[in-house]
């Protein structure tokens, strides 16, 4: 009896070839006889040939297995070269045939899952031909530059940075610090793409909501750069929406990580959340009066690296201050750590609170501490707007300042009885 692993590999090889062949056969169905390199039957046989060749390699050795493999590839190339007319030559089908042979080899070698996944992905790429061509036709030189720059920032640098702590007080993790740059520039790219696809207003709204759920500070830095560049769009409203989403995110994280502090925390930031939400709604309605541009008027490349690097420096400085406070003040440095970490990342302060021993801080004090970090974070974002957007960001500063004023007043009202006691 045959080994089931071998049978499964051969069946998968045939199925992978058939899957690709069905798409190619349908796509080339109107070609005249003799002008196609391969159809459904040929692709199915190519998958089977790959699976059988893998068995030959396993039993007789790679040199023997290379003979039929080279013969099949040679036949495909000759068939492509002898196509009657240049306009009938289909390089895509030739490449797909070689892929069908390759996935058959994978299946016959025991990697059936990878083989069928590769065949499915290949079929998908082949099937979306019209959509992909339409997408490419819509791209501009600026779009290509943005994608290229971001690929270099995210894929060409980040994977090669050390992912461990370095520097004074072991405060800096190069991987995490550069991730900040990837994040800020990524929001610029996401906003740019969203604006191109669904329009200026809805694209900014999507960026603000999604980004605010992850890092409202990064969204603020990204949109502030666009304000300074003089682009037309609801960027002030986007900053307000991202900050309102940040308040909601803080409450959700407190509920998940430090549940005893949830009710005091809701009392501490609830009024600011309401005011921030109202201001965000009013800003969004107000931005509707501005002229709709349809597509963003971007000056230069949408990947604004300089503001992202400035944000990186601020994060690195805050990380160093946290380590210094903990080393210098010991247990009393806990509150300092919460405030400093919260200036650029409120989530870091919440995680720090969740890691404290039970009873280390009362729920009320914990709410005041986290509420203070939210206030510091809002001040930090106002500074980001002031430095990045300069005079053009005054309205965004005022929008952030409205909820900040309510937050500070609420925190003082809660803290006053504790101070008086």
DSSP codes, 164-194: S-BSGGG-B-HHHHHHHHHHHHHHHHHHHHH
Q: Which residues pair with 172 in a beta bridge?
A: 166
Whether residue 326 sits in one domain with residue 350? yes
Whether residue 361 sits in one domain with residue 299? yes
Average pLDDT score over residue span 406-414: 91
Whether residue 88 sits in one domain with residue 203? no
Whether residue 399 sits in one domain with residue 271? yes
Per-residue pLDDT of 38-50, as tens digits, reads 678 888 888 899 9
Whether residue 107 sits in one domain with residue 76? yes
Residue predicted with more confidence, 188 or 127:
127
Whether residue 402 sits in one domain with residue 270? yes
176/158 Cα distance (integer angstroms)? 9
Q: How confident is the model at residue 357 (pLDDT cuts 50, 70, 90)?
A: low
Whether residue 189 sits in one domain with residue 130? no
Question: pLDDT value at position 361?
Answer: 62
Whether residue 288 sits in one domain with residue 405? yes
320/311 Cα distance (integer angstroms)? 14
Per-residue pLDDT of 81-114, as tens digits, reads 766 555 556 678 888 888 989 999 999 888 888 8
The counts of H helices and E strands in the chain are 17, 0
Radius of gyration, CA atoms only, the chain: 29
Last residue of a domain, one of 83, 106, 135: 135
Q: Which domain, by its residues, includes 259? A: 139-420
CB neighbour list of residue 345: distance below 8 Å, 6 or more residues apart: 215, 217, 315, 318, 377
pTM of the model: 0.55
How far is the CA of 66 from the CAs of 11, 49, 78, 105, in angstroms? Answer: 22, 12, 18, 11
**Displacement of CA 355 from its chain's centroid (Å):** 28
88/34 Cα distance (integer angstroms)? 10
Whether residue 264 sits in one domain with residue 193? yes
Q: How confident is the model at residue 376 (pLDDT cuts 50, 70, 90)?
A: confident
- 172 phi/psi in degrees, rounded to 5: -115, 130
Q: Does the structure show a pLDDT above 50 at 390?
A: yes
Whether residue 260 sits in one domain with residue 170? yes
Last residue of a domain, one of 135, 159, 181: 135
Q: How confident is the model at residue 298 (pLDDT cuts 50, 70, 90)?
A: very low
Residues 148, 201: contact at Cβ < 8 Å? no
- Across the chain, what does the average pLDDT equal? 78
Residue 45: name the closest of 75, 9, 17 by CA.
17
Domain count within the chain: 2
Whether residue 36 sits in one domain with residue 117? yes
Q: Which helix (H) or strand (E) holds 23?
A: helix 4-27
Q: How confident is the model at residue 408 (pLDDT cuts 50, 70, 90)?
A: very high
Q: Which residues pair with 166 in a beta bridge?
A: 172
Per-residue pLDDT of 301-337, as tens digits, reads 556 667 677 767 766 776 677 667 667 765 456 566 6
Whether residue 152 sits in one domain with residue 124? no
Residue 384: name the closest of 323, 309, 326 by CA.
309
């Amino acid at each position: 009896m045959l080994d089931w692993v071998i049978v499964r590999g051969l069946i998968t090889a045939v199925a992978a070839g058939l899957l690709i062949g069905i798409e190619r056969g349908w796509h080339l169905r109107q070609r005249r006889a003799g002008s196609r390199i391969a159809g459904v039957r040929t692709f199915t046989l190519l998958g089977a040939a790959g699976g059988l060749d893998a068995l030959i390699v396993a039993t007789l050795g790679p040199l023997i297995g290379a003979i039929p493999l080279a013969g099949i590839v040679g036949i495909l190339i000759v068939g492509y070269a002898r196509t009657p007319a240049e306009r009938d030559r289909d390089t895509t089908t030739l490449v797909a045939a070689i892929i069908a042979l390759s996935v058959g080899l994978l299946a016959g070698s025991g990697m059936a899952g990878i083989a069928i996944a590769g065949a499915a992905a290949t079929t998908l790429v082949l099937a979306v031909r019209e959509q992909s061509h339409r997408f490419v036709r819509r791209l501009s030189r600026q779009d290509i530059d943005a994608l290229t720059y971001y690929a270099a920032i995210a894929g060409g640098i980040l994977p090669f940075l050390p992912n461990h702590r370095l520097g004074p007080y072991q405060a800096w993790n190069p991987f995490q610090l550069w991730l900040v740059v990837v994040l800020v520039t990524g929001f610029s790219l996401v906003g740019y793409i969203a604006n191109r696809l669904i329009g200026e207003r809805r694209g900014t709204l999507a960026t603000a909501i999604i980004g605010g759920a992850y890092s409202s500070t990064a969204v603020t830095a990204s949109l502030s750069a666009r304000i300074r560049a003089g682009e037309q769009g609801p960027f002030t409203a986007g900053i307000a929406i991202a900050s309102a989403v940040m308040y909601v995110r803080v409450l959700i994280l407190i509920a998940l990580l430090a549940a005893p502090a949830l009710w005091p925390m809701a009392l501490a930031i609830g009024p600011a959340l309401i005011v921030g939400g109202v201001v965000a709604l009013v800003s969004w309605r107000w931005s509707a009066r501005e002229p709709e541009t349809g597509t963003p008027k971007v000056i230069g490349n949408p990947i604004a690296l300089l503001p992202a690097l400035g944000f990186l420096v601020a994060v690195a400085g805050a990380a160093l201050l946290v380590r210094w406070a903990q080393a210098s003040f010991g247990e009393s440095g806990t509150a300092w750590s919460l405030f400093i970490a919260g200036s650029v990342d409120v989530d870091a302060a919440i995680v720090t609170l969740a890691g404290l021993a039970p009873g280390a801080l009362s729920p009320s004090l914990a709410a005041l501490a986290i509420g203070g970090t939210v206030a510091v974070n809002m001040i930090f974002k106002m500074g980001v707007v002031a430095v990045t957007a300069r005079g053009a960001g005054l309205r965004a500063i005022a929008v952030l300042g409205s909820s900040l004023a309510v937050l500070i007043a609420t925190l003082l009202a809660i803290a006053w009885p504790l101070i008086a006691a």
